[in-house]
Amino acid sequence: MARGRQSPSDANKVLARNRKARHEYTIDETCEAGLALVGSEVKSIRDGKIALVDAYAVIEGNEAWLCEVDIGVYAFAHARNHDPRRRRKLLLHRNEIDRLAGKVQAKGLTLVPLSLYEKRGRVKVELALVHGKQEYDRRDDVRKREDQRDIDRAMKSRRR
């Protein structure tokens, strides 16, 4: 069996999704990164106490950071619980960091997390290089979705 790259939904447990990102941005490219987390953060993520709504990633120097991710405190952790809004380090290879940094600087793209998922016991994040959609792009997407829905309804009624 050939081992290829899998999408995050293939045999991985999705822990959180950033639905707003797919609505507000056009996705150019995606990649997978690990996260440097403490134990109480992992337990909170598995409990579903996470919000990716306004999250983004930055590259500073030779390191990548995930910012504005809200991971709620874990109720059963010790007194020194984690800070819910702290910056978390992204675990990427140096060549991936350099490639992403070049695209962000040259093309004016943004790094946004699309989803958080568990892969072989580790928490991973799916990052996307995105650029913002204009209002007319959003309208086109809504129109295409509605047209497809109408086509599906017509096909379903015709099959009966």
pLDDT tens, residue by residue, 42-85? 888 888 888 888 889 999 988 999 999 888 888 777 777 777 78
* Phi, psi of 86, deg, nearest 5: -70, 160
- 3-class DSSP state for residue 119? strand
Q: Which residues contact 16 (CB under 8 A, 6 or more apart)?
A: 45, 48, 50, 51, 52, 115, 116
Architecture of the domain whose range is 13-133:
Beta Barrel (2.40)
Taking the C-alpha atoms of residue 39 and residue 77, their distance in angstroms, rounded to an integer, is: 9
C-beta of residue 126 within 8 angstroms of C-beta of residue 32: yes
Q: Residue 142: enclosing H or E segment and its boundaries?
A: helix 135-159
The whole-angstrom separation of Cα 145 and Cα 121 is 36
User: 88-143, pLDDT tens digit by residue?
Assistant: 999 999 999 999 999 888 887 889 999 999 898 888 999 999 888 777 777 888 88
Instruction: Give domain limits for the chain.
Output: 13-133
Indicate the pTM of the whole model. 0.73
